[in-house]
Amino acid sequence: MSTPPKNRARWILPAAITALAAVLIAGLWAFAAAPLGQVSRLPDGSTLTLDAVSYGRAHPYTHGSRWQKWLYPLVSPALRDRSGWWSPATGWEAGMDFSRTPTSLVLQARRRGAAPGHIRGTAAVAVDSGGAEFAAGLGSASRLSASPAGIDEVWELPVFPRRGKTVRVRVYDQVPAGDWVRVAEFAVPNPTPGSHSTWKPQPLPVTRHAGDLAITLTRLSSGVTPEDPYHRSPPGDDRWTRADFQVYRHGRPTSDWQAASTVLSDAAGNTWTHRNQYRSPSGGETRLQFSGALPRTEAAGRLKVQFLQRSGFSPDALWSVSDVPVPVPNQPPRTVAAGRRMGVSLSLSVIGSGRSTGPRGYQPPPFPTLELTASPAPPGLALQLLRAADDRGRTVSPIMIDPMSVGAGRYRYYLAPPPPGAKRLSLRFALQRSRVVEFLVAPPRS
């Protein structure tokens, strides 16, 4: 039997009020019953509260008061919009961050009570069961955002101990004298617990072959980075690792090939990448140096090293382009040359630097840029800018030796500002197939 309209209206409103009250009561109960989180008091009197922990590539975040965070998932979007309780004016912000690796551990914390103007970030580093800190050299400083509710800090840990049930994370703050002092420590659940295999290291020296190259790893060492007393690296970024190689081609030492980068990994699931920070070969010797160190709690780590040719190219691997216009500020990509080498079609574009957004939302890069597109782009293809000079013969230097890949076979070279009066550029590129070798090594004891 149907309910008369008047009677239906009488019970709809009370039912709606009752449902809303139930939601609010549930939210208030959750707020009252929820743990306050791990809280540490910092030397300046402010407090640091651990708000959220996530793992993977995508990391949701919410910035706001505690009651806003607890009620937000319980209230309908329409009611949230009408109430104004989650408007930007209240300090509320929600969104998604993406980490550098798909296996990163991310901690979010809220700092309250900091002195006005005290926005200096802290640094965080993971610690194993024996108290050894993981020094990955990937940047341990926090990302900061300020709101009326306080200062939100986010730490990304791509490398952390994965064999235990929990992960300990130490937080450091830098005092005016330049030293980093421990101010907090949090314990969070390990997102990757379980049984992990153990790798067995290979004794050095050890030789690997890649094409016509024989590459021998002769020595692995590590140490503490020499510090500027006023700009000291935070824990996690204050160590270095160095690998020495002998490179032979057709049985003879060669300095044409150098270590360019390495992918490091361990049996527990950590994987991270570093570019070579040291290049000064002599004879057949080459050195790979990078920030950070292999975890000492692991019996072995894997070094997957990419070698690139730096000299001694054959003529068919070289591509010279002249009369290239110097990129002007805020200039969108403009194709200026095309060619073909080693079965690969090449297209060169110039892009101007700038800070303002151009037509249709175009955002220029921060430096004058050369963009080289290769099609097809076979695995292991490497492109190198050997020389860039202006129309007066003056050198124009790239900011980085190796280009930045932007996907789809496109590579970008960021250039230092050309000399005054430069109008045109002459360029020489080299194409090659990189060589990759792998080694299982014991973490060095410095």
Under CATH, which number does the domain 206-312+435-441 receive? Answer: 2.60.40
Render 206-232 in DSSP notation, one character per residue: EEEEETTEEEEEEEEEEEEPP--TTSP
Query: How far is it, in rounded angstroms, from Cα 182 to Cα 189?
Result: 21
pLDDT at 193 over 80: yes
pLDDT at position 321, please? 96
pLDDT at position 275, please? 86
Average pLDDT over residues 111-126: 77
The residue type at 362: Y
Band (pLDDT 50/70/90 cuts) for residue 188 is very high
**Looking at per-residue confidence, does 188 or 174 come out higher?**
188
pLDDT at 334 over 50: yes
Angle CA 58–62–68, to nearest 5: 150
Band (pLDDT 50/70/90 cuts) for residue 27 is very low
User: Cβ neighbours of residue 349 under 8 Å, at least 6 residues apart?
Assistant: 333, 334, 335, 336, 370, 371, 372, 373
Average pLDDT over residues 29-41: 50
pLDDT at position 131, please? 85
Whole-model pTM: value is 0.79
pLDDT at position 220, please? 95
Average pLDDT over residues 130-156: 82
* Residue 173 per-residue DSSP state: E
Domain-wise residue ranges, the chain? 35-189, 206-312+435-441, 316-431
Band (pLDDT 50/70/90 cuts) for residue 2 is very low
Q: What percent of the chain has pLDDT over 70?
A: 83
* Residue 201 per-residue DSSP state: P
Q: Where are any strands of DSSP class E within 33-140?
A: 39-41, 47-56, 58-63, 93-98, 104-112, 123-127
Average pLDDT over residues 171-178: 83
How close are the terminal C-alpha atoms of the chain, in Å?
85
The residue type at 429: F
Q: Are 319 and 346 in contact (CB under 8 A)?
A: yes
pLDDT at 126 over 90: yes
pLDDT at position 231, please? 65
pLDDT at position 93, please? 82
Band (pLDDT 50/70/90 cuts) for residue 226 is low
Q: From edge to edge, which strands make up the β-sheet containing 123-127?
A: 123-127, 166-174, 180-189
pLDDT at 30 over 50: no
Average pLDDT over residues 353-382: 74
Query: pLDDT for 42-89, tens place per residue?
Result: 877 888 889 889 999 999 888 777 788 888 888 898 998 889 888 888
Average pLDDT over residues 134-145: 83
Q: Would you put residue 204 in left (φ > 0), alpha (ψ -120 to 50) or beta? A: beta
Band (pLDDT 50/70/90 cuts) for residue 92 is confident
Band (pLDDT 50/70/90 cuts) for residue 235 is confident
- Structure token pair of residue 110: 């809220």
| β-bridge partners, 47 | 41, 112
Q: Are 384 and 402 in contact (CB under 8 A)?
A: yes
pLDDT at position 14, please? 46
Look-up of token digits 């019953």: 33
Render 5-44 in DSSP notation, one character per residue: HHHHHHHHHHHHHHHHHHHHHHHHHHHHHS----EEE-TT
DSSP SS3 for 78:
helix
Q: Would you put residue 131 in left (φ > 0), alpha (ψ -120 to 50) or beta? A: left
Q: Are 350 and 370 in contact (CB under 8 A)?
A: yes
Q: Are 112 and 47 in contact (CB under 8 A)?
A: yes
Under CATH, which number does the domain 35-189 receive? Answer: 2.60.40
Query: pLDDT for 242-284, tens place per residue?
Result: 999 999 999 999 989 999 999 999 999 999 999 887 766 556 6
Equal fold, 35-189 vs 206-312+435-441: yes
Average pLDDT over residues 186-210: 94
Q: What percent of the chain has pLDDT over 90?
A: 43
Residues in the chain: 446
Average pLDDT over residues 412-424: 90
pLDDT at 205 over 70: yes
pLDDT at position 363, please? 59
pLDDT at 19 over 70: no
Query: How far is it, in rounded angstroms, from Cα 254 to Cα 336?
Result: 36
